[in-house]
Structures are given as structure tokens and as C-alpha cells.
């Protein structure tokens, strides 16, 4: 990941987990924001609405949600501190369908006592889904914080077939999620 650059373009795209705002400089993606939640992002007046720079992002999101893509191959330019960038790079190394705890991620970064700092960096991730912060869970296996809400985190993990969430759903809910609808989520 390259260090963040100032977004100049933006667009919105609909996904099975709601509308996303994408922002970037025309070469790299700098921001993904859940617009369906309680705090939709307002694009900066300096940004120009143009979907063209995001065609490849939208195509890869479509492949991900249809189960044909397990990792994103995109130029990314998130803005963050050196520590945040290191955490976000470590998130990209978590395989599709697998989860790790905040403590385990801290250990992988060489700081076994840094779970809280990793959690804060995880929460500041400006590229959810693309940089898979949804794959980080509590030490006890619980689903904890996610910018898009826990129902979307749960839906993403179910889409990926993560074992940690299978016991949270009935067979009917799992079928509902497998067909592209987040179980229990207030998203059309």
C-alpha cells in the first residue's frame, strides 16, 4: 500500500451489504465508506463525482460478493500513521474465510501487548472490505466493532465461510446470507 494521497474523485456503488462511497485520486483507492449506516459520508466539495476511475474497484467488489474473488488486486492509498499502515497491511495477509483475534494480530506485528492499539488502528481502517478488518474478532471468538455494523461484519464472514460465525445462525439465516442478504440487517 502506498501512503495516502488526497482523493479527487468519488462515486457510490450498491452492494449486497448496502451502498458504498468510493474515493480516490484517480490512480489509487483511498476510501470506502458505508453509506447505508447512520453516518453517511458527504463527499468533499473539491471531489468530482466520476465512476470511471472506480470501474475496476466495482468489478472486483462484484466478484467478491458473488464468491468469485478472495483477494482484491487494487492500487490502494489509505491515509494513516506508520503504525496504522502496518496494521492494515497485516489485515491484508489474513486469508479469506479465516479470522484472527486482535491479540494474535498484535503478536504477528511483534507487539504481543498491543491488542488495544491494533484494535484502534483496525477501527480507523479507511478501506473496509478491501482491507479485511472484518476478519478480526475478539479473543473469545465474539464479533466486535466494525464501521459498517456487526450485522454487516457477520454477513461478510458468512459470505467467506468463516467457521467462527456458523453457530450464530439458523439454517434459514445461513441460506438467506448465502443468497446475498445480510441476516438480521436492516439493509434492503
Q: Is there a contact between 9 and 24 (Cβ–Cβ < 8 Å)? A: yes
Set of cell numbers at residue 113: 501487548
Q: Is 133 a catalytic residue?
A: yes
Q: Is there a contact between 75 and 69 (Cβ–Cβ < 8 Å)? A: no
Q: Which one-letter DSSP state was computed for residue 76?
A: B
Instruction: Please pick, among 11, 133, 158, 185, the residue that the annotation labels catalytic.
Output: 133
Q: How many C-beta neighbours within 10 Å does residue 127 have?
A: 24
Set of cell numbers at residue 129: 472490505
Set of cell numbers at residue 33: 465508506
Q: How far apart are CA 18 and CA 167, in angstroms?
A: 24
| Residues with active-site annotation | 133
Amino acid at each position: 500500500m502506498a501512503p495516502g494521497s488526497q482523493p479527487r474523485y468519488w462515486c457510490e456503488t450498491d452492494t449486497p451489504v448496502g451502498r458504498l462511497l468510493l474515493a480516490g485520486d484517480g490512480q489509487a483507492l483511498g476510501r470506502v465508506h458505508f453509506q447505508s449506516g447512520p453516518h453517511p459520508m458527504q463527499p468533499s466539495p473539491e471531489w468530482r463525482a466520476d465512476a470511471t476511475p472506480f470501474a475496476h474497484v466495482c468489478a472486483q467488489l462484484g466478484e467478491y460478493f458473488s464468491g468469485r474473488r478472495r483477494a482484491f488486486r487494487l492500487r490502494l492509498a489509505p491515509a494513516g500513521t506508520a503504525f496504522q499502515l502496518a496494521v492494515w497491511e497485516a489485515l491484508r495477509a489474513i486469508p479469506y474465510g479465516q479470522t484472527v483475534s486482535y491479540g494474535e494480530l498484535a503478536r504477528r506485528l511483534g507487539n504481543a501487548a498491543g491488542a488495544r492499539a491494533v484494535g484502534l488502528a483496525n477501527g480507523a481502517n479507511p478501506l473496509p472490505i478491501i482491507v479485511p478488518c472484518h476478519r478480526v474478532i475478539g479473543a473469545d471468538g465474539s464479533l466486535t466493532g466494525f464501521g459498517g455494523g456487526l450485522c454487516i461484519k457477520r454477513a461478510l464472514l458468512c459470505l467467506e465461510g468463516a467457521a467462527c460465525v456458523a453457530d450464530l445462525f439458523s439454517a434459514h439465516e445461513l441460506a438467506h446470507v448465502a443468497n446475498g442478504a445480510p441476516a438480521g440487517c436492516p439493509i434492503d
